[in-house]
Amino acid sequence: MITLECNYQKKIGLPHYCSHQFSVTLRTEIADLTNVQTESARLYALLQQSVDTSLQQPGFLPARNGNGNGRGESWGCSEKQRNLILRIVEEHNLDKTAVEQLAQDRFGKSVNALNRLEASGLIEALIEQTGGISGNQRRRFNGRPHLANSR
């Protein structure tokens, strides 16, 4: 007999700097070495489905005002993403209602409710619409102006 042990683990980030992690391990015995790949693939799919199903219920989340950035407004994405979205809107004088509608159309939620992946998609769409972050592609680095294409 051959013992096959498989483990699947996933950690997901949640709002307010929380995360949840879940892991499942299975051990089985197989008689024929030629069945290892098939059995391994079957167990992986089963483990992945079990972990993903369990993580859909995040359980208790601590109540917090804001997202830890001292601004009082809660955003689901990172502070850097939040700042970049606000910067693009400001630099290009975008209509906030139109940006909000874009988030609703693409993700079914408001801009500040977007998670990191969705915020990345919104940022990409805004950059495509506006042609960039700023006209001269200037960025701030360590508090000083920095040209993205410096030589």
**Residue pair 17/68 in contact by the 8 Å Cβ criterion:** yes
pLDDT at 131: 81
pLDDT at 97: 86
pLDDT at position 145 over 60: no
Q: Which of 106, 18, 119 is nearest to 77 (CA)?
A: 119
pLDDT at 61: 61
Per-residue pLDDT, averaged over 95-111, amounts to 89
pLDDT at position 140 over 70: no
Alpha-carbon distance of 14 to 27, in angstroms, equals: 30
- DSSP three-state, residue 32: coil
Global confidence as pTM? 0.43
In this predicted model, what pLDDT tens digit does every residue of 5-58 receive, in sequence order? 999 998 887 665 567 888 999 999 999 999 999 999 999 999 999 988 888 876
In this predicted model, what pLDDT tens digit does every residue of 62-87 receive, in sequence order? 555 444 444 456 889 999 999 999 99
pLDDT at position 139 over 80: no
- DSSP three-state, residue 133: coil
Alpha-carbon distance of 23 to 47, in angstroms, equals: 9
pLDDT at 143: 39
